[in-house]
Amino acid sequence: MIANKKLFFKGFLLLVAFLVVLFTMFMPLFNEGNALNYMDNLYNSISKGSAYYIPGLQEENKAYRNRPIQITLALAGERQAEETALLFEKSGASVTQTSTSIAVNGDLGAILANCLADSDIMFHNQGAQIREKYGYGERQVLFNWWTALDKMDMALKKQEMFKEAKFVGNVNQRAVECAYNFYEITPQKITDKIGIVISSLVFYVIYTLWFGFSIMFMFEGWGMRLEH
């Protein structure tokens, strides 16, 4: 039995309206698709606009010029070893491949300068330049860079080159990862979309409360109450 029909149906109508709005949000009303896709793309573009660390890393990398390194990297397979060897060769290093591993002898600063240059090109969504440079897919190039730097980090630590290893890790996280994750996304400043951002946050709070109150009214109308 419904104890308070007025309160119950008030909550029921709120829930129905909530579901109508939810259904509308999944309708393809934007160029990007539905409202959720639009907001996801918007926040990704804003995030990209505030995640451009590459110029600072390039400046910091000057301290690692003429810093020789000799490392051996074990890769997932012969194909990845061949593709990764090409990255180091384009960086001016000498590379010897043995099945699935590569031995690298080169200048750390020059290697990272090439990596940062590739990351910068990808960050600006110019993947065709990377494909032309290496002869295979731009996303795979960055994935190979990420794998190589991750293994370089560990190899340098084993040689007690901790400062160098830390910087390699920073380049991997703040340049390679950012360029890969934000590839093909157009960056925007939050100030350019401040109205939409504030409106979306306010809507999120109101919409959450909307659902909560609809359920609460329905249960209270049904005769269920929370008591101490």
Q: Rounded to whole angstroms, how far apart are CA atoms 179 and 12?
A: 47
Q: What is the dihedral of CA 178, 181, 186, 190, to 10 degrees?
A: -60
| % of the chain at pLDDT higher than 90 | 62
| Structure confidence at residue 99 as a pLDDT band (50, 70, 90) | confident
Say what angle helices 35-49 and 5-25 make with each other, to 10 degrees: 60
Residue 32: per-residue pLDDT: 67
* Torsion region of 121: left, alpha or beta (phi above 0 gives left; psi -120 to 50 gives alpha): alpha
| Structure confidence at residue 227 as a pLDDT band (50, 70, 90) | low
Q: How many CB atoms lie within 10 A of CB 173?
A: 14
pLDDT digits over 11-33, tens only? 889 999 999 988 888 888 777 67
pLDDT digits over 181-215, tens only? 999 888 777 777 788 878 888 988 998 999 999 98
Contact 133, 114 (CB under 8 A): no
Q: Which residue has the higher pLDDT, 71 or 43?
A: 71
pLDDT digits over 133-190, tens only? 999 999 999 999 999 999 999 999 999 999 999 999 999 999 999 999 999 888 777 7
Q: What number is the average pLDDT over the span 75-92?
A: 94
Alpha helices (H) in the chain, listed in sequence order: 5-25, 35-49, 54-61, 78-89, 108-123, 127-134, 138-158, 162-171, 177-181, 194-222
For 149, residues 6+ apart whose C-beta sits below 8 A from its C-beta are: 115, 168, 169, 171, 172, 176
Per-residue pLDDT at 36 exceeds 90:
no
Q: Which two tokens stand for residue 148?
A: 């190589």
| Structure confidence at residue 109 as a pLDDT band (50, 70, 90) | very high
Residue 225: per-residue pLDDT: 65
Angle, CA of 145, 48 and 173, to the nearest 5°: 35
| Structure confidence at residue 9 as a pLDDT band (50, 70, 90) | confident
**Per-residue 3-state assignment (H helix, E strand, C coil) for 10-55:** HHHHHHHHHHHHHHHHCCCCECCECHHHHHHHHHHHHHHHCCCCHH
Contact 37, 30 (CB under 8 A): yes
| Structure confidence at residue 1 as a pLDDT band (50, 70, 90) | low
